[in-house]
Amino acid sequence: MPKRKAAIAVGGVAALGAAALLLPHANASQDGSQASGTTGTAKTLKATDASDLAAQLQKALGDAFAGSYYDSGKQQLVVNVVNGDSNVLVQAKKAGAAVRQVENSTAELAAAAKKLRTRATIPGTSWAVDPRTDKVLVTADSTVTGAKWNRLQSTVQGLGSGMATLKKSAGTFKTFVSGGDAIFSQVQGGNVRCSLGFNVTASDGSPAFLTAGHCGVAAKQWSDSETGQPIATVDQATFPGSDFSLVKYDDAATQAPSEVNAGNGQTVQINQAADATVGETVFRMGSTTGLHDGQVTGLDATVNFQSETDPSGVDTVNGLIQTNVCAEAGDSGGSLFTQDGSALGLTSGGSGDCTSGGETFFQPVTAALQATGATLGAGDNGAGGNGAGDNGAGDQAGAGDQAGAGDQAGAGDQAGAGDQAGAGDQAGAGDQAGAGDQAGAGDQAGAGGDQIGGGEDPSAGDQSGSGSADDQSGTGPADDGSSASDGH
């Protein structure tokens, strides 16, 4: 049987800079000697080790812990604390972190995110706690104007001084984005195109792969060629609330290696599932755009997409990873990973393209593995394994607790079973008061805008391009009925 790889050869549009950054250093360690931190001396760490340390300190420091991020330049974990207790500071420093004292506690930032959820769940908005600024960063896309903008602006102002920043994006938030092999499904009126994320083993031992939930909702059977016969069938699909699908290969003898093709005949072995850390360098392999790199800019992101089935509704997805990695149409569901072979995310949506840049959001792999019961590789890195077991329900480093933006990451909470937008509290202009209490849209590159404080120009911001990667006609996750292939 031919191998079904979570990969595709890089095309002419692949970013050579990303390949140069990734390939010479694939699987290389970033461990080193000690270096000077924000305060005192901190250890140099790989991003995955920094995430583990952050989770440990979050438990050890309790209420004094106010989030953390990875300083990729110094290769250090920076931990925010909200009081000057000498024991707290000494404890964090001894553990190897750089320590920074901040004003806003995790509880205060979580409360701010909750107010946004209940008062400003408007299509085209997102928010996330940014530990680098110790604030909630709120972003509105180009569709948020008039009364909707005024309501959002008023809500942000009501959070209090120094609690949130409001930015305007010129793009439009749509489900889209990137990964490995192109996969296709024929539906009424045309084809749907997405990308394979990561090969996995389903809980019953059968070969399978993960992709975006909005792809699995759009079509049941998938092929590895535009006109080919189906080779895999959706077993589980969740969207909105979360955005992941488990798709089983129809042939139980299919070989499904745990690797991503980085182009030029090079592959990156996927060794584990891990949680993303704000500030770390990540890579995205796209069936449309090839290999691109960037940084994680936010965790526990909440994105409010315009509903594809209800013109006045909203499809809210919670608990996402936000990055400044570009993506385009046809890449939904694809792989987000690190150079040392950690699987981080499945492409969900965003704005912009690979010419102008933009915000891009990814479903965390750890949460998808936990919800589906699937495992990566030999089966020790999935739900309850290395990475997912410690970082799944309610304990995800830098997400639910670290970011302070909500109670992320279980199969129930993240999927929006109770808090999902559209649960029945819809109120005007698509504002639904049950979007989940995650935060969204961290610190995007090119988002533009200034901190709220009066006189803000709703059209400000330097983000350009709408960049739908779900559908080139701009319809989103479902096929728009045209004869052309729609990219997700």
pLDDT of residue 245: 97
Return the CATH architecture of domain 35-101.
2-Layer Sandwich (3.30)
**pLDDT at 162 > cutoff 90:** yes
Catalytic residue, from 134, 235, 243, 419: name it.
243
The catalytic residue among 214, 224, 292, 470 is 214
Q: Which helix (H) or strand (E) is 51 found in, with range?
A: helix 47-61
More confident residue, 73 or 22: 73
Write down the residue that tokens 């495992």 correspond to. Answer: 375
Q: What is the pLDDT of residue 6?
A: 47
More reliable by pLDDT, 171 or 406:
171
485, 226 contact by CB (below 8 A): yes
* Per-residue pLDDT, 159: 95
Query: Over pLDDT 70: what percentage of the chain?
Result: 67
Mean pLDDT of the chain: 74
Q: Residues of CATH 2.40.10.120 domain(s) within the chain? A: 1-29+111-488
pLDDT of residue 71: 93
Q: pLDDT, tens digit, for every residue of 454-463? A: 333 333 333 3
What is the C-alpha separation between 117 and 152, in angstroms, rounded?
Answer: 11
Please say if the pLDDT value at position 440 is more than 60.
no
Given 51, 245, 332, 466, the catalytic residue: 332
Amino acid at 91: Q
Residue holding tokens 């953390």? 68
User: From CA 204, how far away is CA 323, in angstroms rounded?
Assistant: 33
272-273/342-350 β-pairing: parallel
| pLDDT tens-digit map of 188-220 | 666 788 888 999 999 999 999 999 999 999 899
In this prediction, residue 115 carries a pLDDT of: 93
Question: Which is more confident, 349 or 27?
Answer: 349
Residue 382 makes CB contacts below 8 A (sequence gap 6+) with: 200, 201, 273, 369, 370, 373, 374, 375, 376, 388
For the question of residue 243 being annotated catalytic, the response is yes
State how far the Cα of 143 lies from the Cα of 148, in Å rounded to an integer: 9
pLDDT for 477 beyond 50: no
Residues of the chain with CATH 3.30.300: 35-101
Residues in the chain: 488
Cα(265)–Cα(390) distance, integer angstroms? 34
117 vs 452, higher pLDDT: 117
Q: Catalytic: 332?
A: yes
- Say whether 300 is catalytic: no
Identify the band that residue 181 occupies on the pLDDT scale cut at 50, 70 and 90.
low
Nearest Cα neighbor of 249 from 286, 201, 287 is: 201
Kindly report the pTM of this predicted structure: 0.69
pLDDT of residue 382: 39
The CATH code of domain 1-29+111-488 reads 2.40.10.120
Q: What angle do CA 468, 318, 465 make, to 5 degrees?
A: 20
The mean-pLDDT minimum among 43-47, 143-147, 180-184, 279-283 falls in 180-184
Exposure string of 347-382, with b = 16+ CB inside 10 Å and e = fewer, is bbbbbbbbebbbbbbbbbbbbbbbbbbbbbbeeebb
Task: Provide the token pair at 275.
Answer: 């949680």
Nearest to 357 by CA among 106, 137, 169: 169
